[in-house]
Structure 1
Amino acid sequence: MEFLDEKLEDYVNAHTSPESEILSELNRQTHINVLQPRMLSGHLQGRTLSFLSKIIQPQRILEIGTYTGYSAICMAEGLKENGELITIDVNYELEDMVKSYIEKAGFSDQIEMKVGNAMDIIPKLDKNFNLVFIDADKSNYSNYYDLLIDDLPKGAILIADNVLWSGKVVEEIKKKDKDTEALKIFNKKIQDDDRVENVLLPIRDGLMMIRKK
């Protein structure tokens, strides 16, 4: 997942605004207590999400893939005063941890966590979202996009994480690899979709930035 030289990455992080004490604690606790801590957005990507959200100042945010709540808290930092963020995750075992850190961060009134299958939940939502972050099962990236794109308002921003997939998207697939193939299909879908404009940023494991025209 790491594409930069370690010294250069340290320099980048040293010249990026620090995460809050609550996020730093959540970062540590995720690495200590939760499986696959590399799924956490982390310092640089978290500050990127926060920065973008503060620029957009969204009224409504949708996150698909909560994990331990780090990225949700980052994006909530840019919400309008009466804005809301809905985050969806299938893992009920992390729900208590997520909600406790949402409360510690002061966003209990603005962040709502829904536990279940996003493919079932998304069709029931009001899709008037200004910002969408997709960071869930890779095989459904294209499906999530298709469920949302037509109903999102003009100018809405979607961000998809892990679109470089540790560099596998540019390697020859020698054996059946559903996740890599799904991400390559998704990236091509976005590139070919004239309803949007897009930029693929090589931040951490790749962020696909998408703006609905």
Structure 2
Amino acid sequence: MKGNLLGPNVAQYILDHTTKPDPLLEALAKETVAATGDSAGMQITADQGRLLTMITQLVAPDVAVEVGTFTGYSSLCIARGLSGGTLHCFDVSEEWTSIARRYWETAGVADRITLTIGPARDTLAAFHERVDLAFLDADKPNYPAYYELLVDRLRPGGLLMVDNTLWKGRVADPADNEPATVVMREFNDLVAEDPRVTVVVLPVADGLTLVRKN
């Protein structure tokens, strides 16, 4: 699972006082660990999942988009928050998203989700619907490209949520010049300086940035 920037006691306290995931989400989290090993860290945390559902319920999107589906935890949380809209998922892996498809079916939300397999820079470019809500959690070097494609499609007042933006806190260390850290730091600067949006960075799990289109 993804790391948490808070101390372990505070992180556990938050989990203890957040509505717990149901058995289906717990089963998906366990299967992800068993199936993907070290890659399971790409899965969002339980508190993030609850937050995604709540934000989706608040926004009530007709069109939601997810870039980076993996085994489906975040997409399941978003789909459960929909009240009549559709979630469009973009990912490159048939293998990992096959797990997602099973859980969507079991949860009874498969009819709310469309999945497109292929490089998201291409598939998003071919997607022309106006977007109300988006979640970005994919390969970090392409974050700037995905960001531009998503913001361009967001309606005024639409919301984009971006994961991993604090990168284990390393983005705040000017002495850390590891390539991945630099990528995320530059991305954060790009978003913060974008006059088209209003931005809040939340210290949730590995950092979750909320981007509202003005």
TM-score (norm 1): 0.94
CA distance in 2, matches of 1:10, 1:44: 11
Given that 1:158 and 1:209 are in contact with CA atoms closer than 8 Å, whether structure 2 keeps it comes out as yes
- Report the equivalent of 2:174: 172
- Does residue 1:139 correspond to 2:150, yes or no? no
8 Å CA contact 1:133, 1:159 repeated in 2: yes
- The 8 Å contact of residues 133 and 160 in structure 1, kept in 2 or not, is answered as yes
SS for the counterpart of 1:18 is coil
More helix, by proportion: 2
* One-letter identity of the residue aligned with 2:57: K
Deviations 1:66-92 (A, max 9, x none): 0110000101122122x1101111122
Instruction: Indicate yes or no: 2:90 matched with 1:88.
Output: yes
Distance 1:157 1:174, change over 3 A: closer
Task: Establish whether residue 49 from structure 1 lines up as the match of residue 52 from structure 2.
Answer: yes
How do 1:37-186 residues align onto structure 2 when only pairs under 5 Å count?
Answer: 37-81=40-84, 83-173=85-175, 177-186=178-187
Residue equivalent to 1:187: 188
In the alignment of these two chains, the number of paired residues is 211
Distance apart, 1:128 and its partner CA: 0.8
Please say if 1:203 is aligned against 2:204: yes
| SS across alignment from 1:130 | strand
Match of 2:24 among 22, 47, 55: 22
Q: How far apart, in 1, do the equivalents of 2:174 and 2:36 lie?
A: 32
Deviation at 1:3, TM superposition (A): 1.9
2:71–2:98 contact (8 Å) kept in structure 1: no
**Contact 2:72–2:103 (CA under 8 A) maintained in structure 1:** yes
Partner of 1:22, secondary structure, is helix
Match of 2:213 in 1: 212
Q: CA deviation at 1:167?
A: 1.3
Distance 1:197 1:155 in 2: 10
Q: Which runs of 4+ in 1 moved over 3 A?
A: 172-175
Instruction: Using structure 2 for the length normalisation, give the TM-score.
Output: 0.94
Paired with 2:4 and 2:176, the residues of 1 have a C-alpha distance of 22
Report the CA distance between 1:173 and its aligned residue: 4.9
Runs (5+) with no aligned partner, structure 2? none
Range with greater deviation from structure 2 (12-21 or 154-163):
12-21
What secondary structure, in the 3-state scheme, does the structure 1 residue paired with 2:81 have? coil
Instruction: State the secondary structure of the residue aligned to 1:66.
Output: coil
* Contact 1:127/1:148 (8 A) holds in 2: no
Judge conservation of contact 1:56–1:78 (CA < 8 Å) in 2.
no
